[in-house]
Amino acid sequence: MKNQTNQWWKESVVYQIYPRSFYDSNKDGIGDIKGIISKLDYLSELGVDVVWLSPVYESPNDDNGYDISHYERIMDDFGTMDDWDQLLNDMHERGMKLVMDLVVNHTSDEHAWFAEARKSKDNPYRDYYIWRPGEEGSKPTDWEASFGGSAWDYDEKTEEYYLHMFSKKQPDLNWENPEMRSSIYDMMKFWLDKGIDGFRMDVINMISKKEFLSSYQDYHNGSIEKKNYEFNGARVHDFLQEMNQEVLSHYDVMTVGECPRVSPDLARLYTDEARNELNMVFQFEHMGLDKIKGKSKWDLKPLRLLDLKQNLTKWQKELEQIGWNSLYWNNHDQPRAVSRFGDDTTYRRESAKMLATVLHMMKGTPYIYQGEEIGMTNVHFDSIDSYKDIETLNMYKERILGQDEKDVMHAIHVKSRDNARTPMQWDATHNAGFTEGTPWIEVNPNFTDINVEQALLDQDSIFHYYKKLIELRKQHEIIVHGKYDLILEDHPAIFAYTRTLGNEMLLVVNNFYSDNVPFILPDTIHVDNYELMISNYEVPCGEQIKEFNLRSYESRVYKLTI
């Protein structure tokens, strides 16, 4: 059995900032770096240790900054490199760390490398990207891009197609090319030498495409089924180990790799400390439990708590000794947690706190997405014209041809990435205090009730509950390192588990629904002493622990001596 080591990133709570929607300091309707600087005291008050900043690099914004045209420049919309230097400095002064987004599966088609590459077939940068001739006048393969349409786009000048797994303005880089890799490593060093504390790596398990590309012939003539070859290609581990050796091992930083379609077996390979690849991955299995299997994220089905428990428990157990979990309910690509997994009307406060408890008491590094800490909700814009996200708009265009608009809009209300991208709700004034200009995307009209100012004033707010959860992590080693075990496995409404370290145990009990439900402690747990650590309701003094009634979305965490 291997021992997981103590590392600062295991003890940390990470807060994700989506800069475009965080805070606008210059009235242009777009959040910016100076805006973030002015809110650092707020983040200190919350107590988070690390900020992950979604891309702030130069970009034509086809995919809101995930299409980078210059890796070492700051986007004008967000400010200047001086602003960024100030941000890093001010964060470090407050004891906070900064993790930058690393988007190296693709660049923007406006990146200088791509501009060169498309000039001629013998251009030195040609091979930085993936080019193929057409098959008898048609596209090289029938692969589809993530945002809809073909994954190939024709370049008239050189009469070949280039691969783009996302929008056509996001050509995929060719990781087989050592010079390309070395350019990426230089860029990473540029930021690390400036003093950053790590990288969140965008779709990093898509960078190895050799078999994906060569599999086409077999797939085409029917000898193999289409598999997800674009994920977890054979060379990805070599590339990550090389990146580690060349770059990361020289710095004390954290890495989290975004890895769609990753199983626990693979996640162990990526995060095994002995293999020197990544510290943790973002896996997506729990994000897929409310869609119809084999269909797209827009094909909705209700979530069953039993599936969620089973899935999260699988990840807890499988990464128990090797690897490390990242814990998240939402991010800039996902709907708002309280709307998706809780109740965003009657029990918004209770259910947001319950979800926070479930997540923060598990083993792994918790991530908070901006606004989650005040219980921000999904938005229901009436018209498609209010939406900005490329994925949402492309899906609307495709589906509206064959489906009822009401159904299409319903799926958008439930799943659009713009649910997470409406401006941060700072106060009850015009535009939620986000901007004095016209916001790039409309604010959620519920900002008059749900906002930071109000949350800070109310000691019983979701914000103060998150703050307490973060404090508890600092005080109790068991929250970081305790062994996880699910209890009441088949209970359809209660999500309960224990964490054990030495003779201490945490008992974490959550009612996932609004109906009251009795909790009965399993006989297998023998308790000497117990005390309540945190709960989202008043718990009557002296209430015994063997059996109690859980109210709507009630959460309790007890610390036991066993």
Largest interatomic CA distance in the chain: 78
HSE value, Cβ hemisphere, 13 Å, CA-based, for 431: 20
Smallest gap, in angstroms, from Cβ of residue 330 to ligand NOJ? 12
Q: How many CB atoms are closer than 10 A to CB 110? A: 16
Contact predicate 269/208, CB 8 Å:
no
Measured between alpha carbons, how far is 423 from 442 in angstroms, rounded to an integer?
A: 7
- C-beta of 219 vs 284, nearer to ligand NOJ: 284
C-alpha 219: how far from its chain's center?
32
The structure tokens listed for 424 are 């941060």
Smallest gap, in angstroms, from Cβ of residue 202 to ligand NOJ? 5
| Catalytic member of 32, 77, 258, 554 | 258
- C-beta of 332 vs 559, nearer to ligand NOJ: 332
Smallest gap, in angstroms, from Cβ of residue 327 to ligand NOJ? 17
Smallest gap, in angstroms, from Cβ of residue 56 to ligand NOJ? 14
Residue 66 near ligand NOJ by CB under 6 A: yes
The correct pick among 166, 239, 315, 447 for binding ligand NOJ (CB under 6 A) is 166
Whole-angstrom CA distances from 167 to 46, 121, 164, 235, 390 are: 36, 23, 6, 24, 8
Measured between alpha carbons, how far is 358 from 371 in angstroms, rounded to an integer?
A: 18
* 555, 472, 100, 325: CA torsion to nearest 10: -60
Residue number of the CB atom closest to ligand NOJ: 66
Measured between alpha carbons, how far is 328 from 420 in angstroms, rounded to an integer?
A: 14
- C-beta of 373 vs 391, nearer to ligand NOJ: 391
Tell which positions 102-121 bind ligand NOJ, by CB under 6 A.
Answer: 103
The dihedral through the CA atoms of 53, 56, 62, 67 has a sign that is: negative
The structure tokens listed for 250 are 């020289």
Contact predicate 14/365, CB 8 Å:
yes
Q: How many CB atoms are closer than 10 A to CB 491? A: 18
Smallest gap, in angstroms, from Cβ of residue 331 to ligand NOJ? 7
DSSP state, residue 50: E
Measured between alpha carbons, how far is 551 from 515 in angstroms, rounded to an integer?
A: 7
Sequence length of the chain is: 562
- C-beta of 390 vs 452, nearer to ligand NOJ: 390
* 318 is annotated as an active-site residue: no
Q: Give 525's contacts (C-beta < 8 A, 6+ positions apart).
A: 487, 498, 505, 507, 560, 562
Smallest gap, in angstroms, from Cβ of residue 66 to ligand NOJ? 3
Tell which positions 392-411 bind ligand NOJ, by CB under 6 A.
Answer: none
- C-beta of 109 vs 333, nearer to ligand NOJ: 333
Residue 202 near ligand NOJ by CB under 6 A: yes
Residues in the interface with ligand NOJ (CB under 6 A) total 9
The correct pick among 196, 203, 374, 470 for binding ligand NOJ (CB under 6 A) is 203
* 372 is annotated as an active-site residue: no
Tell which positions 321-340 bind ligand NOJ, by CB under 6 A.
Answer: 332-333
Which string of x and - marks every residue 26-55 that binds ligand NOJ (by CB under 6 A)? ------------------------------
Smallest gap, in angstroms, from Cβ of residue 152 to ligand NOJ? 17
Contact predicate 280/326, CB 8 Å:
yes
Residue 151 near ligand NOJ by CB under 6 A: no
Residue 128 near ligand NOJ by CB under 6 A: no
C-alpha 311: how far from its chain's center?
17
Measured between alpha carbons, how far is 216 from 298 in angstroms, rounded to an integer?
A: 27
Instruction: Provide the β-strand partners of residue 144.
Output: 150
- C-beta of 143 vs 463, nearer to ligand NOJ: 143
Smallest gap, in angstroms, from Cβ of residue 42 to ligand NOJ? 24
Distance between start and end Cα atoms, the chain: 24
Smallest gap, in angstroms, from Cβ of residue 391 to ligand NOJ? 7
The correct pick among 49, 63, 343, 350 for binding ligand NOJ (CB under 6 A) is 63
Smallest gap, in angstroms, from Cβ of residue 259 to ligand NOJ? 11
Which residue has tokens 């509950």? 465
- C-beta of 57 vs 166, nearer to ligand NOJ: 166
Element (H, E) at 394: helix 390-399
- C-beta of 330 vs 435, nearer to ligand NOJ: 330
Measured between alpha carbons, how far is 285 from 349 in angstroms, rounded to an integer?
A: 26
Tell which positions 74-103 bind ligand NOJ, by CB under 6 A.
Answer: 103
Measured between alpha carbons, how far is 180 from 182 in angstroms, rounded to an integer?
A: 5
The structure tokens listed for 489 are 């496995």
Residue 256 near ligand NOJ by CB under 6 A: no
- C-beta of 203 vs 414, nearer to ligand NOJ: 203
Using DSSP, state whether 264 is helix, strand or coil: helix
Tell which positions 273-312 bind ligand NOJ, by CB under 6 A.
Answer: none
- C-beta of 392 vs 461, nearer to ligand NOJ: 392
Contact predicate 364/325, CB 8 Å:
yes
| Catalytic member of 58, 62, 83, 202 | 202
Which residue has tokens 């918790």? 366
Q: Which residues bind ligand NOJ (CB under 6 A)?
A: 63, 66, 103, 166, 202-203, 258, 332-333
Question: Could you give the residue numbers annotated as active site?
Answer: 202, 258
